[in-house]
Amino acid sequence: MTSTLDFTNQRILVTGGAGFLGRQVVDQLCKAGADRDKITTPRSKDCDLRQMESCQRAVDQQDIVIHLAAHVGGIGLNREKPAELFYDNLMMGTQLIHAAYEAGVKKFVCVGTICAYPKFTPVPFKEDDLWNGYPEETNAPYGIAKKALLVQLQAYRQQYGFDGIYLLPVNLYGPEDNFDPRSSHVIPALIRKVHEAQQRGDKQIPVWGDGSPTREFLYSTDAARGIVMGTQSYSKAEPVNLGTGYEIAIKDLIELICRLMEFDGEIVWETDKPNGQPRRCLDTERAKQAFGFVAQVGFEEGLKNTIDWYRQHAA
C-alpha cells in the first residue's frame, strides 16, 4: 500500500458530481474525511468542459480533481451519435487534464470505461490487454476518446511528474441510474421494460440481441468506494480495473430480473439488433493488491435495491 492521501481541508472538484455515480462518490469522499463544503460539483449547464475557459475556471484553486463527467449511453446512443461521443469526451478530458496540470492540482483521477478494451480480449480482461486490438465497433468512438486520456496522463506523469491515475469501472448499476429508454444501459433498460409490460398487462417483452453476450456489473456504491480508495492510495501510471469478477449472460440477467419482479411473460429476442461485445468480465486483482478494493454488494441484492428504487420513482 502507498501512503494514504488525507482528505482533510482538501478542495476537491468532482466533474459529473451531480450524476448517478457522482453523488455516490461525493458521499464516499465525505465518509473518508473530506469536507462537503470543500467539494465542488459543477453542472454541465453552468460549466461546459468542452471549452478550455470552463476547465480553467473549474480547476482553479482545487487540490484534487475526480473526472467522472462523460457523454455516455447504451448501444443505441453509441450507434446514433458516435461523432458527438468521440468529440465531447475527448475535449472534456484532455482540456481538463491540461488545465489541472497548469493550475498545480496535486492529484487527478480519471474514470475511464470498459468500452476501451478490444472487442476480442481474453476473459477476464487484464489491464495489460488494453491495447491488444480495436474496441467493439458500436462503442469504439467513446472508448477510444476515453482511452486517449490514459495516454495523456501517462505522458504528463513522465514529462511533468503530474500525479494522474486512471480507473476502469465495469458497467455500473444501482438506484438513481438513468432509466431513459433512449440512452440507458442494459439493467435500467430491462427493469423499465418489465415494469411497463406489467403496467400494460403485456405477456411478452422484446430484448435486443440473442441473449448470449456476458456482462459484469458493479453496484454504484461499490464503484464510488473503489474510486475514493484509488484517489487516496494509488499513484501509479498503470490503469486499474474496478469490478466484481462476476460474469452473467444477458439471457440469465433478464430471467433474473423477471424473477425478482415477478414477471412470467415471454422474452422475444430481437436477433436483428446488435449484441455488442461478446464477453465482458474483469480481472480485479490489481485493485485488490494496489489499494485493497473488493466489491461488497452481491448482484441479486444490488438488483433488488435498484428495482425497488425504480418502482418507487417510476411515476
- Per residue in 164-182, pLDDT tens? 999 999 999 999 998 988 7
18 is in an annotated binding site: yes
Name the least confident of 96-110, 181-195, 209-223. Answer: 181-195
For residue 131, pLDDT over 70 is answered with yes
Given the residues 101, 117, 142, 234, select the one marked as catalytic: 142
172 is in an annotated binding site: yes
By three-state DSSP, how is residue 167 classified? Answer: strand
In terms of Cβ atoms closer than 10 Å to its own Cβ (0-12, 13-18, 19+), residue 66 is: buried
22 is in an annotated binding site: yes
Which of 303, 115, 70 lies closest to 194 in space, CA to CA? 303
pLDDT tier at 31, thresholds 50, 70, 90: very high
193 is in an annotated binding site: yes
185 is in an annotated binding site: yes
For residue 62, pLDDT over 90 is answered with yes
Which of 167, 297, 299 lies closest to 241 in space, CA to CA? 167
Is position 173 annotated as part of the catalytic site?
A: no
The CA distances from residue 214 to 83, 123, 130, in Å, are 27, 11, 18
